[in-house]
Amino acid sequence: MRHHTSTSRGRLGIVPDHDTERPACVPGHGHTGRGGATTLITDLPYGPKAAEVARGAMAVALHGTEEELLDDARLIGSELATNAFASGSPPLVLCVDRRCPAAGGLEVEITVTDGGCSHPAPASPPVSEEEAESGRGLVIVEALADAWSLTTGAHGTRAWCRLTRAVSPSTAST
């Protein structure tokens, strides 16, 4: 199985092109923060290791960020990768965009795409039973993310979320 990772600094709007499974550039969204932007795109294995690879990619993409943000991002990435493997089809692709808006702080967007599924997306995260061993992934994403969406289809599924953090006094001077 081919494993492809791409990282870009200062280039916004890089998304996976599902026809080639390689990054494709699209116009940026106007963010030109003082810290620039970093985008990491990686193929995830279609199997139980998808979550582990997603957690590792988060650690690389968010190196040097506050521990709480990294923990939230690793959990979200793991949940989205697990959902893509459990409900979708190959290829699985993870994209992590990290940028510092001009107003300060940090904005992280996490996207996991897959080759699609045959059942429609839920309007909201399903309510899981307390004793269930699965079914909490989207509930976790909704609880941790500032914004999120899920779009499913026969030819592709896209799960996306955004985490934002304001500049804290301890990180403002570094």
Beta bridge partners of 60: none
What number is the average pLDDT over the span 44-68? Answer: 96
Question: What percentage of residues in the chain have a pLDDT greater than 70?
Answer: 64
Q: Distance between CA 5 and CA 39 in Å, rounded?
A: 10
pLDDT tens for residues 116-168?
876 555 555 555 555 545 556 789 999 999 999 999 888 899 999 999 998 65
Domains delineated in the chain: 5-10+34-122+135-172 (3.30.565.10)
Instruction: Give me the pLDDT at residue 129, please.
Output: 54
Instruction: Give me the pLDDT at residue 166, please.
Output: 85
Which tops the pLDDT comparison, 53 or 152? 53
Which tops the pLDDT comparison, 108 or 126? 108
Residue keyed to tokens 């998304």: 15
Half-sphere exposure of 75 (CA within 13 A, CB side): 17
Average pLDDT, the chain: 76
| SS3 state at 154 | coil
Q: Distance between CA 159 and CA 20 in Å, rounded?
A: 20
Q: Distance between CA 156 and CA 18 in Å, rounded?
A: 9
Instruction: Give me the pLDDT at residue 137, please.
Output: 77
Instruction: Give me the pLDDT at residue 24, please.
Output: 32
Asked if residue 35 lies in contact with residue 65, where contact means CB atoms within 8 angstroms, the answer is no
Instruction: Give me the pLDDT at residue 32, please.
Output: 36
Region for 42 from its dihedrals, namely left if φ exceeds 0, alpha if ψ lies in -120 to 50, beta otherwise: beta
Confidence of residue 83 (pLDDT cuts 50, 70, 90): very high
Angle at the Cα of 80 (from 42 to 107), degrees rounded to 5?
70
Instruction: Give me the pLDDT at residue 101, please.
Output: 87
What lies within 8 Å, CB to CB, of 55 at 6+ separation is 74, 77, 78
Instruction: Give me the pLDDT at residue 5, please.
Output: 46
Asked if residue 78 lies in contact with residue 54, where contact means CB atoms within 8 angstroms, the answer is yes
Is the pLDDT assigned to residue 169 strictly greater than 90? Answer: no
